[in-house]
């Protein structure tokens, strides 16, 4: 149906909706505040647009640079949002300018919006009729003042400047947070060691982040969740 709408000489109003997912950078926020939905538009009633049952708050925003071509590197779109009451400045200050937050742009037509957006309802409402979702990550903040804040976005397939692997190769240094889910270690009485791999009390228990610290806890002959690259030193330069 959306294909037919695009090909019409007079289409219904084009609608852009945005979601900003902060869960990856702000896990301390209440769950209900980790996903923000907003749009620069209002519905026929002058109220927030409802799409797929979700309310998108009207907010002064501008965006540009989404056009993709077959030449050169992927574009770096920009999003500008009004800095009302300094709310966005507070978020940037608390969460590293929102870098790596996930922004999704939803494109559809007014013809397919939920029935509650219209005075007389909408028999053509269809939540499945939209363009493919466009998902970006916030690359960096490019401008901030009392009026607006601007960010540069990155497409997920934009690999310019990306190094493999995605973190430095350290032979005998584990970057995993001690006792985190990735580490998996649960303190066991009699198996407390400090940062120098020496026996200690529970209060001083901390990992040396070295392979020796991992072996002391999990056993030298067992599978280790070590996050370093012990074999890196075996590669000749």
Q: pLDDT tens digit string along 97-144?
A: 999 999 999 999 999 999 999 999 999 999 999 998 999 999 999 999
Least confident of 29-33, 170-174, 195-199, 218-222: 170-174
Angle made by CA atoms 90, 96, 102, in degrees to the nearest 5:
100
Evaluated on CA atoms 188, 190, 194, 197, the torsion sign reads negative
pLDDT at position 66, please? Answer: 78
Q: Give the confidence band of 158 by pLDDT, cuts at 50, 70, 90.
A: low
Q: Which residue has the tokens 């907010």?
A: 59
Residue 168 confidence (pLDDT) above 90: no
Asked if 213 and 207 count as a contact pair (C-beta separation under 8 A), the reply is: yes
Q: What share of the chain is helix, strand, coil (3-state, %, to 5)?
A: 20, 25, 55
Region 165-181 average pLDDT: 76
pLDDT at position 35, please? Answer: 94
Three-state DSSP class for residue 108: strand
Three-state DSSP class for residue 116: helix
pLDDT at position 184, please? Answer: 85
Structure tokens at 131: 């363009």
Q: Could you tell me the residue ranges of all domains in the chain?
A: 2-154, 163-237
- Give Cβ neighbours of residue 64 (< 8 Å, ≥ 6 apart): 77, 78
- Give Cβ neighbours of residue 155 (< 8 Å, ≥ 6 apart): 74, 75, 136
- The bridge status of strand 35-39 relative to strand 54-58 is parallel
* DSSP summary character for residue 214: H
Q: What is the pTM of this model?
A: 0.65
Asked if 6 and 12 count as a contact pair (C-beta separation under 8 A), the reply is: no
Region 22-28 average pLDDT: 90
Q: What is the pLDDT of residues 31-85, one digit of tens each?
A: 888 999 999 999 999 999 999 999 999 999 998 887 766 565 667 889 999 998 8
Comparing 181 with 51, which gets the higher pLDDT?
A: 51
Return mean pLDDT, the chain.
Answer: 86
Residue 104 pairs with which residues in a beta bridge? 19, 135
* DSSP summary character for residue 113: S
């Amino acid at each position: 149906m959306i294909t037919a709408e695009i090909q019409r000489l007079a289409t219904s109003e084009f609608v852009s909706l945005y979601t900003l997912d902060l869960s990856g950078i702000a896990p301390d926020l209440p769950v209900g505040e980790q996903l923000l939905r907003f749009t620069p538009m209002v519905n026929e009633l002058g109220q927030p647009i409802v799409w797929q049952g979700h309310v998108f708050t009207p907010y002064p925003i501008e965006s540009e640079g989404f056009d993709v071509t077959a030449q050169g590197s992927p574009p770096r779109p920009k999003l500008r949002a009004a800095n009302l009451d300094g709310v966005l400045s507070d978020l940037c200050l608390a969460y590293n300018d929102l870098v790596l937050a996930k922004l999704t742009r939803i494109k559809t037509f007014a013809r397919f919006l939920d029935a509650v957006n219209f005075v007389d309802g909408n028999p053509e409402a269809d939540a499945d009729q939209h363009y493919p979702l466009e998902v970006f990550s916030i690359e960096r903040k490019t401008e901030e003042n009392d009026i607006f804040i601007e960010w540069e976005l990155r497409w997920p397939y934009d690999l310019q400047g990306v190094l493999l692997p995605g973190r430095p190769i350290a032979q005998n240094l584990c970057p995993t947070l001690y006792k985190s889910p990735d580490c998996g270690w649960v303190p066991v009485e009699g198996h407390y060691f400090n940062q120098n791999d020496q026996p200690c009390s529970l209060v001083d228990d901390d990992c040396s982040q070295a392979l020796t610290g991992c072996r002391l806890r999990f056993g030298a002959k067992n599978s280790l969740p070590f996050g370093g690259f012990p074999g890196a030193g075996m590669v000749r330069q």
